[in-house]
Structure 1
Amino acid sequence: MSIALLLPSPVMTQKPSSITSPPRGFGSSSSRLLQVSCVTKNPSRNNNVTCNNFRPIKEVNNQITHTIPQEKLEIFKSMENWAETTLLPYLKPVEDSWQPQDFLPAPETDDAFYDQVREIRERTREIPDDYFVVLVGDMITEEALPTYQTTLNTLDGVKDETGGSLSPWAVWIRAWTAEENRHGDLLNKYLYLCGRVDMRHVERTIQYLIGSGMDSKFENNPYNGFIYTSFQERATFISHGNTARLATTYGDTTLAKICGTIAADEKRHETAYTKIVEKLFELDPDGTVQALASMMKKRITMPAHLMHDGRDDQLFDHYAAVAQRIGVYTAADYAGILEFLLRRWKVESLGSGLSGEGRRAQEYLCTLPQRIKRLEERASDRVKHITWTQGVSGKCYSSEIRKQGLMFSLELGLCVASETTSYSIALTYCIMYSGLLGWDCTINVWDTNEFTSELSVPGKKRKGNNQAEESQLEREAETTLVGHTQCVSPVVWSEHDVVYSCSWDHSVRRWDVETGKDSLNLTTVVTENFVA
């Protein structure tokens, strides 16, 4: 897998001067044009197949529709007067609203325009690549606005039935869309002017994303829809607020003002959506708390989770991982948003009117933030306490090794070497927008001289029906590798009759199928136990 998500163009053809130091070009600033370009081999899809018609790269399956009963729809009909007087005032008049051009060079002034563009390029020249990864990801998310309006208009009871309906729900959806439209426009133009981004690649990613849609898990149910938008608007408020803070740190006050202005819009929209759910808790606490628990069990994924550039199946996860690492949007933020909403909606103090199912939903929700936080803290601690032992020549890499596609690891990449072969282990710290916490391992075997991967296998391998024989060998390896505790599904390198395996204790073994002997034993030491 080659990972170059908006990072300098890869130089993987270069040989490393030594295995204990990254190859020349790692972290290099010589190439300032950034690309969204990732290559992932996916055996389930032939990437060379062309089609005359567009079809989504990622398919959304097992979708459930129209789950809200008729009596619940009547609640939204009864709320129309409330929406007219309480919801619509959160929309700003167009004449009082900011526009993207307020922050950009005026194109009608020749000399001043070119001077201002040069200033933008000068200010953004030394901003770190990782920041632009996140900023472009944010912009792509905002540019997929047609998907979000379409999705809101699938909600029973509140959708725009005609395309120009005057119901307060329909007016809100259209006007909210109009306000949000400025966000993508502004970020897109600023990124275009700064010259740091391969805009055609970005534009292709936007087209893929809009064409793919989103898996909202709303079930056409407005309870689910407004819970989701409450959460998502606060998430984007936090994300844009943090990009504003970082832009200030990097010395681009104009970019900081842009991101801060967008964040203020998101905060206003968050307030409006949370008021809708607050009203639902007032009118139907039992149904609303169950809907909230249901959405949290399904996990709130960000609207651009189907992001794709035509090459990388995991593009959104890569973008989200960088956002986590630089502190723009983290697992702690996910838990914090949930805590905030539970307090705002007074979920803990819901009274005796709840059904048995409602009380169980309440209990689940009130304990969920702390469970998420504990997992995040334990995972963070584990990253801090990993070292190499066994006297093996080794090197611990961080962000530089990720930039050139040796491995993808959010926090840590470990590499050891012999004279001819290096073994790299990606310890992937999985904390994405979905709030999922966990670890995974990937073993890469590299030819040191050629610097090409002979084997790249995930520690958790999906076994199909045609892999029964390999699965048997893997089971034998798991029981034979003495001391290899909590083994994570070993994987077979069938061409060489070798099984590689990695485990939660971060040891890596190579097991010879013919002799049944362990010919490689690399171990890391963790000073604290970790139980996910």
Structure 2
Amino acid sequence: MTIAPTSHGQAVWSDSRLLYALEEVVETELNRHLKVAKEWMPHEYVPWSDGRNFDGVMEGEAWAPEQSKVTDIGRTALIVNLLTEDNLPSYHHEIAQLFGRDGAWGTWVHRWTAEEGRHGIVMRDYLLTSRAVDPVALERFRMQHMSEGFESDNRHSMLHSVAYVAFQELATRISHRNTGHHSGDPVCDRMLSRIATDENLHMVFYRNLLKQAFVLAPDQTMSAVRDVVTGFRMPGHGIPGFERAAATMAIGGIYNLRIHHDDVLQPVLRFLKVLEIDGLGPEGRQAQEELGRYMDDLDAQARKFDERRAAIMARRAARQG
């Protein structure tokens, strides 16, 4: 199979060629993942003794907000996080189509899906058993969200998808971790910490693939990273009421511009030394420069957000005082 050269001599890799070239890395990373990933049981993280029947066919007690042990911000974030996990069938469809179902790629796709499936299981069991959220509203949100389906923003290339998940898995980890810390319930915090551990391992897998992609196709990979970072959206952006929920989570300190810049984008970019890579062609250098400017602009936006958030928190504290 030939690889077409670009105008400056650097090879242009097709998706199929990259999939083949990265297969060995996928196998290595898969084996590493299987050695470090620890088995855990969703049912062990659910306070089953707190459960009781809801109203309806079981003629139990209707849900009321005062039954919930979690904070208001925790409830909002838990719903967003769970509805994001609920779209796993669509995510599986997307990556299975892209990466394939055979060889090391296929083994990883199915393993990733199996691990992600536990997250939705344990979160829903916790939320319903502990009466953390309105079960009727939750189910209606789920039906609406899943009925609309999911289509990735990163259909440009296989490199765009690998770049996206390298950042997205870390973003999801941070969102779960911070939701647990702000939930007000130690049981919830422990559960989400366990989920966050999985998400971090998934991030490492994709981050290491991205590292090798920079070796094989530096210009293309740099362009993909630039596109993904500058256009990044969380996979749950289609959730009903997402913008309002995201604003609440931002002010509440669960996920916002500062966290996105400092705890998600910067760690991955720094690990891969993305802004320090040399030997790039014209397209790669341009993408690298644009990425650097974007990160500077994002940091400036985050500083402005920090100031607004501090003012909002000060007003709230004054009212409560």
- Pairwise TM-score range, normalised by the shorter structure: 0.7 to 0.9
Query: What 5-or-longer segments of structure 2 have no aligned partner?
Result: 1-11, 53-63
Partner amino acid, structure 2, of 1:290: S
Return the index of the structure with the highest Cα Rg. Answer: 1
Tell whether 2:257 aligns with 1:349.
no
Partner of 1:296: 229
Q: Give the secondary structure class of the aligned counterpart of 2:168.
A: helix
The answer on whether the counterparts of 2:45 and 2:191 sit within 8 Å (CA) in structure 1 is: yes
Question: Pick from 109, 117, 135: which aligns with 2:51?
Answer: 117
Partner of 2:304: 378
Q: Give the secondary structure class of the aligned counterpart of 2:97.
A: coil
Partner of 1:224: 160
In the TM superposition, 1:39-58 aligns within 5 A as: none
Partner of 1:271: 204
Question: Pick from 201, 207, 210: which aligns with 2:146?
Answer: 210
Question: Pick from 305, 314, 325: which aligns with 2:237?
Answer: 305
The answer on whether the counterparts of 1:290 and 1:357 sit within 8 Å (CA) in structure 2 is: yes
Identity %: 28
Deviations 1:194-245 (A, max 9, x none): 2242212211211222222224222262101111111110001111111222
Aligned residues: 292
The answer on whether the counterparts of 1:103 and 1:258 sit within 8 Å (CA) in structure 2 is: yes
Deviation of 1:81 after TM superposition, in Å, equals 2.1
Deviation of 1:317 after TM superposition, in Å, equals 0.6
Deviations 1:467-503 (A, max 9, x none): xxxxxxxxxxxxxxxxxxxxxxxxxxxxxxxxxxxxx
Partner amino acid, structure 1, of 2:202: H
Deviation of 1:92 after TM superposition, in Å, equals 6.2
Partner amino acid, structure 1, of 2:212: K
Q: Calculate the TM-score normalised by the size of structure 2.
A: 0.83
The answer on whether the counterparts of 1:347 and 1:366 sit within 8 Å (CA) in structure 2 is: no
Distance (Å, rounded) in 1 between the aligned partners of 2:164 and 2:93: 15
Q: Give the secondary structure class of the aligned counterpart of 1:334.
A: helix
Distance (Å, rounded) in 2 between the aligned partners of 1:331 and 1:384: 14
Q: Give the secondary structure class of the aligned counterpart of 1:214.
A: coil
Question: Pick from 79, 97, 119: which aligns with 1:183?
Answer: 119
Partner amino acid, structure 2, of 1:289: M
Tell whether 2:69 aligns with 1:136.
no
Mark the CA change 1:240 to 1:382 in structure 2 (over 3 Å): closer, same or farther: closer
Question: Pick from 286, 293, 297: which aligns with 2:219?
Answer: 286
The answer on whether the counterparts of 2:177 and 2:196 sit within 8 Å (CA) in structure 1 is: yes
Q: Calculate the TM-score normalised by the size of structure 1.
A: 0.51
Q: Give the secondary structure class of the aligned counterpart of 1:170.
A: helix
In the TM superposition, 1:308-457 aligns within 5 A as: 308=240, 315-336=241-262, 337-352=264-279, 354-381=280-307
Mark the CA change 1:261 to 1:357 in structure 2 (over 3 Å): closer, same or farther: same
Partner amino acid, structure 2, of 1:265: D
Partner of 1:524: none
Mark the CA change 1:338 to 1:104 in structure 2 (over 3 Å): closer, same or farther: closer
Partner of 1:103: 45
The answer on whether the counterparts of 2:69 and 2:132 sit within 8 Å (CA) in structure 1 is: no
The answer on whether the counterparts of 2:141 and 2:239 sit within 8 Å (CA) in structure 1 is: yes
Deviation of 1:328 after TM superposition, in Å, equals 0.8
The answer on whether the counterparts of 1:142 and 1:180 sit within 8 Å (CA) in structure 2 is: yes
The answer on whether the counterparts of 2:85 and 2:120 sit within 8 Å (CA) in structure 1 is: yes
Mark the CA change 1:93 to 1:349 in structure 2 (over 3 Å): closer, same or farther: closer
Distance (Å, rounded) in 2 between the aligned partners of 1:196 and 1:79: 43
Distance (Å, rounded) in 2 between the aligned partners of 1:175 and 1:383: 40
Distance (Å, rounded) in 1 between the aligned partners of 2:277 and 2:13: 24
Question: Pick from 33, 39, 45: which aligns with 1:90?
Answer: 33
Deviations 1:76-121 (A, max 9, x none): 2022122112234314699x51121111246xxxxxx3xx438xx9
Query: What 5-or-longer segments of structure 1 have no aligned partner?
Result: 1-68, 107-112, 309-314, 387-395, 400-532
Partner amino acid, structure 1, of 2:45: F
Deviations 1:412-470 (A, max 9, x none): xxxxxxxxxxxxxxxxxxxxxxxxxxxxxxxxxxxxxxxxxxxxxxxxxxxxxxxxxxx
Mark the CA change 1:194 to 1:325 in structure 2 (over 3 Å): closer, same or farther: same
Mark the CA change 1:231 to 1:141 in structure 2 (over 3 Å): closer, same or farther: same
Deviations 1:115-169 (A, max 9, x none): x438xx9x974532222011111111111111111121232xx222xxxx3x111
Quick one: higher RCO (CA 8 Å, sep 6+), 1 or 2? 2
Mark the CA change 1:184 to 1:368 in structure 2 (over 3 Å): closer, same or farther: same
The answer on whether the counterparts of 2:180 and 2:189 sit within 8 Å (CA) in structure 1 is: yes
Structure number having the greater helix percentage: 2
Deviation of 1:356 after TM superposition, in Å, equals 0.9
Partner of 1:194: 130
Deviation of 1:341 after TM superposition, in Å, equals 1.6
Mark the CA change 1:70 to 1:147 in structure 2 (over 3 Å): closer, same or farther: same
Partner amino acid, structure 1, of 2:296: Q
Partner amino acid, structure 1, of 2:238: L
The answer on whether the counterparts of 1:224 and 1:291 sit within 8 Å (CA) in structure 2 is: yes
| Structure 1 vs Structure 2 CA RMSD | 2.7
